[in-house]
A and B are shown apart, each in its own frame.
Chain A
Amino acid sequence: MTTSLAAALAAFALAQAEPTTAAPPPPAASTAAAAAGPRILPTLGLLPPGAPVLREGVPVRCLYGPSGTFRAQCDEGARRCLVAPDAMLDAQGRPSGPLERADACAAPAIMEAELAGWEIVPALADVPPGFRRDERQRASQVSFDLGRRLWLGGGFAAGGWPWQPGAFVTSGLRLDRPFTWDGAAALARVRALEGWTAVNGSAAELGGVAIDFSRAYPHPLLRITTFLGTPRRYDPPLYVGLWAEALRFETLKTRSGVRHERTGAISAAVTLDFWRSPDLASYLRLRAGAGYEKVSGRNDGDLLVLALVEGEAALDGDGLLHLRGAMGTEVVTPTGEGPDASLPDRRWRHLARAELERILFSVNDQPVSVVLQARGAKRTDVPDWPDTWTFEGTAQLRFSLWAPPLRAAARQDALERP
């Protein structure tokens, strides 16, 4: 037992005077004996920097004795135990409440007296992937899946669009769910109520519900074998998926004060991934399809043909930094009477967007992020719209609800050193 370990023990003797909810009560028959037995464990206070975390996949057993209640993982061959307080600690290292995000320790319990002569290593209690315990054993989420969240935000936009400069608010629901598609891993991405509204009311866009499916292809759809020289096989990245959206609403006031309102009824497309991460969460793809929409003031609807290159990717392992982007064209063709005299028969919407989102901090494990976005558009489907490319830059803050840890989040292995 080291001196530093002994020093770390001072406060934790008190720790076990208070019960914790994570551990089952000690066996009644042994309680008196345990309390009366020799004190073997050192006093564990605040956990020292570098303290290991109880390992995943190894049973965590309850440890009772006059020193209190602990969680332990012991190696009988090495006569060595990792021992963690079975409670959250206060600033003095005394127990302050039940341990969060830990299953109850398992039976059979270990009695403190049984560990005489063993090496005792102070440790942090086990913690799920994507969470971190500090020296007081408090659990905090440090990995966030922004593909599963409900968010609200607000910010400021500046640029050449008619309503700018001005403030805006945003919202959205995103629900990514992995599933199995014909025996292969697949991912469904659901988006709902995703959009923005200018605070001055002169522009807004809101999507209804959109869903798309990506899947892994254990057997490539396309194999190319070359016979020039040594025969070689090439598997081009051909990953096909589906995308659909129901309801999209856009309203904007042009410079002349005319309000243009567009309601998209339904759109569907095929997606072709050029690149994707192994968990399918990040991707770069082509989306091409068709839809139907209607503009207020016209009796007939319009057919829509769309083709975009789009992608999103997490730029770090904890999901704190995300990059998203899209660029493409939508062609609008009237189904009945021609469009307004001021508009061409066939109208275009050329769009480009890049977005960087960084989580700044979290409140009760709910992330607050800053989003920087640049967008450009050139469109002929709106009367009195500038006939050149127009650009905007926006900055916003988003509060996200839910955002659980990434499915592939790392597990904490030790308390960080300063």
Chain B
Amino acid sequence: MIPAAALLCALAAAGDPCLVTDEAGRTFRTCFDPGHRLEAAAGVRAASAGGARGGALDLSAAWRWRGDTRGQGGAVEWLRDQAVLALDAALVAGAAEEARAVAWRGTFVRRLAEPFILLPGPRPVRFPFPFDVGMAVEAAGVRWERTREREAELTVLRSTLLLDVARHLGGVRRAAFGPALAYDLWLGRDAAPVHVIVPFTGAALDLVAESAGGLWVGALTARAGAALRVPGGFAGYAAAALSVERVLMAVNDRPVALGLRLSGEHGATGRAPTRVEAGLVVRVTSPR
């Protein structure tokens, strides 16, 4: 008896290795691009902040676009991940408890076979360099929560110069770190705005790993450093988030994933100084 998996592999549609045909001649998709999708997710989260604990329904949506480019030899040249209109809201008893939105977020990493530093001139000089380089940018974000409904935190710009070592860690899409720059505005109707600036006094870490078929996705992001608040002065901040997702099924070739997310932050916003969250999420995305 031929194992079902072997049969499916044998019947994989020619030309698209992600499209499989079963014994009845029906085709379906078995791999997905987690970086290129329109997604909507719902889940639950539990948070501990300032001594208070609570749960919430978590809703989110985003349009993610991945546009990697390859050089003439076929090797990846640019890794380009972007997200447009990433929305996230927490609801308690049907009412909005917290909402976040980011208009645009992009991460760009340049891959070379042999990274180098070049001194230009009539006869340029080239030195080896151990990292790929890149940049992460986040522009136009807003964050609001019910307990401080007359206030909002605006992200004008956040950016990180990335040094990427993923080339040395097979199977990892991105393993990058670097100095961070940020400019946020905390606005309140009854108070003068607070300017929050990170002038390369912080650092960020971005680790992303995906299985070959896109069924598993793991990500770890972290940022920490000192932010200047005006008025206020320098204050330390730290934030980190770990997420793991697994595609469990697909409906009309649209993958449905179950994910686990852990996050924590300290001093990163104007709200509770320390906050830890854990959540489970079900994510539905467009096929790719």
Q: Which residues of A contact B (CB under 8 A)?
A: 21-22, 88, 97-104, 132, 134, 138, 140-142, 150, 152, 154, 167-169, 171, 192-193, 197, 199-202, 204, 206, 249, 251, 253, 259, 261, 318, 320, 359-366, 399, 401-402, 416, 418
Contacts and interface: CB of A to CB of B under 8 A. Distances in A.
Contacts of B137: 150, 193
A402 B118 contact: no
Q: In the complex, which range does the number of interface residues on chain B fall in?
A: 35 or more
B120 A401 contact: no
Contacts of B118: 140-142, 361-363, 365
B230 A152 contact: no
Contacts of A150: 108, 135, 137
Given A142-B118, A361-B118, 8 more contacts: A102-B73, A138-B116, A140-B124, A150-B135, A167-B199, A204-B183, A259-B192, A364-B129
Contacts of A99: 73
A21 B73 contact: yes
Interface string B124-142: 1010010111110101000
Nearest to A206: B156
B116 A152 contact: no
B113 A100 contact: yes
B138 to A, nearest CB: 11
Given A169-B200, A361-B120, A103 B72 contact: yes
Contact of B112 (A152, A200, A365): A365
26 contacts: A88-B113, A88-B114, A97-B113, A100-B71, A100-B75, A103-B72, A104-B72, A134-B126, A142-B118, A152-B161, A154-B200, A167-B199, A171-B159, A201-B195, A201-B229, A204-B183, A206-B156, A359-B120, A363-B117, A363-B133, A364-B112, A364-B115, A364-B129, A365-B118, A399-B161, A401-B134
Contacts of B129: 363-364
B110 interface: yes
Given A88-B113, A171-B157, A366 B124 contact: no
B238 to A, nearest CB: 20
B120 A142 contact: yes
B25 interface: no
Contacts of A320: 120
B175 to A, nearest CB: 16
B84 to A, nearest CB: 14
B181 interface: yes
B183 A261 contact: no
Given A142-B118, A152-B135, A366-B133, A100 B124 contact: no
A30 B139 CA distance: 58
A98 B133 contact: no
Contact of B157 (A200, A206, A318, A401): A206
A146 to B, nearest CB: 13
Nearest to A318: B120
A60 to B, nearest CB: 12
A259 B191 CA distance: 13
B209 to A, nearest CB: 22
A134 B200 CA distance: 35
Binding site secondary structure of chain A: strand
A88 to B, nearest CB: 7
Contacts, number: 128
B122 interface: yes
Interface in B218-253: 228-230
Nearest to B133: A364
Contacts of B230: 200-202, 253
Nearest to B74: A21
A345 to B, nearest CB: 26
B75 to A, nearest CB: 7
Contacts of B161: 152, 399
Contact of A102 (B72, B114, B132): B72
Interface of B: 71-75, 108, 110, 112-120, 122-124, 126, 129, 131-135, 137, 139, 156-157, 159, 161, 181, 183, 192-193, 195, 197, 199-200, 228-230
Contacts of B122: 416
A200 B120 CA distance: 35
A197 B185 CA distance: 13
A366 B129 CA distance: 12
B188 to A, nearest CB: 13
Given A98-B73, A100-B71, A193-B139, A204 B195 contact: yes
A110 B233 CA distance: 71
- Residue of A201, A202, A362 ringed by the most chain B CB atoms within 10 A: A201
Given A361-B119, A364-B110, A401-B134, A193 B157 contact: yes
Contacts of A361: 117-120
A365 B72 contact: no
B219 to A, nearest CB: 21
> A-B pairs with the 9 shortest C-beta distances?
A201-B230, A199-B199, A401-B135, A169-B199, A416-B123, A362-B118, A98-B73, A140-B118, A364-B133
Given A132-B124, A201-B195, A363-B129, A152 B159 contact: yes
A253 B230 CA distance: 10
B114 A97 contact: yes
- Most chain A beta carbons < 10 A, residue from B112, B120, B131, B199: B120
Contacts of B123: 416, 418
A249 B195 CA distance: 12
A279 B159 CA distance: 32
Given A88-B113, A167-B199, A401-B110, A138 B183 contact: no
A246 to B, nearest CB: 12
Nearest to A400: B135
